[in-house]
Structure 1
Amino acid sequence: MEVNIGVVDKMMAIVKNFEANKDNRTIFLHCYSMMTANMLVAIEQNKFHDSQWIGQLLNRFADYYFNALTCYDCGEETPLVWKEVHKAAATKKLHVIQHLLLGVNSHINYDLVLTLYDMLSPEWLGLSDEMKVKRYEDHCLVNLIIGETIDKVQDEVVEKYSPGMDLVDKLMGRFDEMLLLKLITEWRDKVWDHGQKLLVLESEADRAKYLLELEKNVLKRADWLDTQIWFR
């Protein structure tokens, strides 16, 4: 079976446009495209319990990013967590790591929660306990793929936009990559918990209230990332 890399092609076409316009949003999207490419390879190699389900989740996850990007660039109403990321890329002088983590924060801590709910809510009550465990194990396996991608992200994206990071990488060895992976893993663990909590809320009003609180927390984390002078 041939791996469908259409979503990666779409990402890289936008990356090239961003680069041509010196748009800092290229930093997150370039990294995201590399992660997506590695995910597709893992799907092709049948590393997941349910490759088809993971493939659908991958596409749904990407749709949240593409939709927010299109809305913002067309002047339409944009999810607040993404509106602030796009504004920061255009108006603020931040370190490459800050631009990267601002995008990761919105996409994982907000979009991934919505994606998991979208994927799990139609099936959750009908899944066996064994399949529920397998869904969670597939979610956790992504952490390993992220870990395998981080070195390449460091070499091909981070150091491209901040050459001085090459020296940091050499001095710290694997420590900086391990810190980044630990952070993302902790975020993704919490995302699964958020998804589980959404699944047991019975009313749309309760879910909307929960997501509003989630949005506030994501924005609060973005404010913290935005102001950390130790990145610079």
Structure 2
Amino acid sequence: MKRIDAEFDARDGVACFNRMYLRVTELVAASLAENYFADGAFIERMDVIFAGLYLRNVEAAKAGNPVNAAWRPLVDLRDDRRILSIQYALAGMNAHINHDLALSVILTCKERRTTPDTSPVHADYLKVNELLARVEAEVRAEFEPELVRLATADAESITHILSTFSIEAARDASWLSVQLLWPQRDIPFTYDRACAGIAETTGMVGRLLLTPVPLSAS
């Protein structure tokens, strides 16, 4: 993620999300060192798998290959200068949480021979919400000067778009996806179709978050 931060233009849509996600990763790492989680080994492994799902799409985009439907809006619109940095950051979190997070829980549970309902998987999952809430607040504050420079009507339009997304709500929805996917994990046909449906729905939300708002004349 640090390499991506150094390599991409600061206004690149993926780079805007990457800066936010790097902060999340640093907070999780610090919390692991402080024994914040009941099962630190599980969270550490899940964090690696989680990051890998994101990085896989970054590499696919660099190679000119198709990316997952959840990530497609961010990749397709990454160079649109009518879209604000905060829109890119939250659209990336939408893709990563509403799609990738559920898969990372499933994959980690399978690898460690446990289940999402086994303690303390869900309790530790909820603890991450507190870290994400901190980062979301930091990011919104960081990008607030962008909104201040806009005309009142423009700022209201963009604020309305951004208010449709909440990290906490996204994580709640992702856990519901875990509950949906877990019983289907060993039935490839239904599991793959369910994953595809989640990806498409997540992509639709991402497309909404990245709605360009024509700015009024100064």
**TM range, smaller chain:** 0.7 to 0.9
In the TM superposition, what is the alpha-carbon distance from 1:148 to its structure 2 partner? Answer: 2.4
> Secondary structure of 2:107's match?
helix
206 and 96 in structure 1: CA distance in 2 versus 1, 3 angstrom threshold: same
Unaligned runs of 5+ in 1: 1-10, 169-175
User: Aligned residues, how many?
Assistant: 204
Q: RCO greater where, 1 or 2, for CA within 8 Å and sep 6 or more?
A: 2
1:190 to 173, 177, 201: 173
Is residue 2:125 matched to residue 1:135?
no
| Aligned-pair Cα RMSD in Å | 2.8
Is residue 2:136 matched to residue 1:150?
yes
More helix by share: 1
2:60 to 37, 46, 71: 71
Does structure 1 retain, via aligned residues, the 8 Å contact 2:83–2:212? no
2:48 to 44, 59, 64: 59
> Secondary structure of 2:35's match?
coil
What are the within-5 Å matches in structure 2 for residues 1-232 of structure 1? 11-19=1-9, 22-91=11-80, 93-122=82-111, 123-124=113-114, 132-156=118-142, 158-159=143-144, 162=146, 164=148, 183-201=166-184, 202-227=186-211, 229=213
Does structure 2 retain, via aligned residues, the 8 Å contact 1:121–1:199? no
TM-score (norm 2): 0.82
Does structure 2 retain, via aligned residues, the 8 Å contact 1:72–1:83? no
Q: How many angstroms apart in 2 are the aligned matches of 1:220 and 1:150? A: 21
Tell me which amino acid in the other structure corresponds to 1:193.
L
Q: How many angstroms apart in 2 are the aligned matches of 1:30 and 1:226? A: 17
In the TM superposition, what is the alpha-carbon distance from 1:12 to its structure 2 partner? Answer: 2.2
Show CA shifts across 1:189-216 (max 9, x none). Answer: 1111211221111411010111121122
Q: How many angstroms apart in 1 are the aligned matches of 2:46 and 2:215? A: 32
Show CA shifts across 1:50-71 (max 9, x none). Answer: 1111111111111111111011
> Secondary structure of 1:102's match?
helix
In the TM superposition, what is the alpha-carbon distance from 1:155 to its structure 2 partner? Answer: 4.3
Show CA shifts across 1:167-225 (max 9, x none). Answer: x9xxxxxxx9xx97x81111101111211221111411010111121122112212322
Q: How many angstroms apart in 1 are the aligned matches of 2:104 and 2:15? A: 23
Q: How many angstroms apart in 1 are the aligned matches of 2:140 and 2:177? A: 29
Does structure 2 retain, via aligned residues, the 8 Å contact 1:25–1:86? yes
Q: How many angstroms apart in 1 are the aligned matches of 2:136 and 2:90? A: 13
Does structure 2 retain, via aligned residues, the 8 Å contact 1:98–1:231? no
Q: How many angstroms apart in 1 are the aligned matches of 2:195 and 2:75? A: 21
Does structure 1 retain, via aligned residues, the 8 Å contact 2:60–2:67? yes
User: Runs of at least 4 residues of structure 1 off by over 6 A?
Assistant: none
TM-score (norm 1): 0.77
In the TM superposition, what is the alpha-carbon distance from 1:97 to its structure 2 partner? Answer: 2.3
- Over the matched positions of the two proteins, sequence identity in percent amounts to 22
Tell me which amino acid in the other structure corresponds to 1:136.
H
83 and 217 in structure 1: CA distance in 2 versus 1, 3 angstrom threshold: closer
Partner of 2:156: none
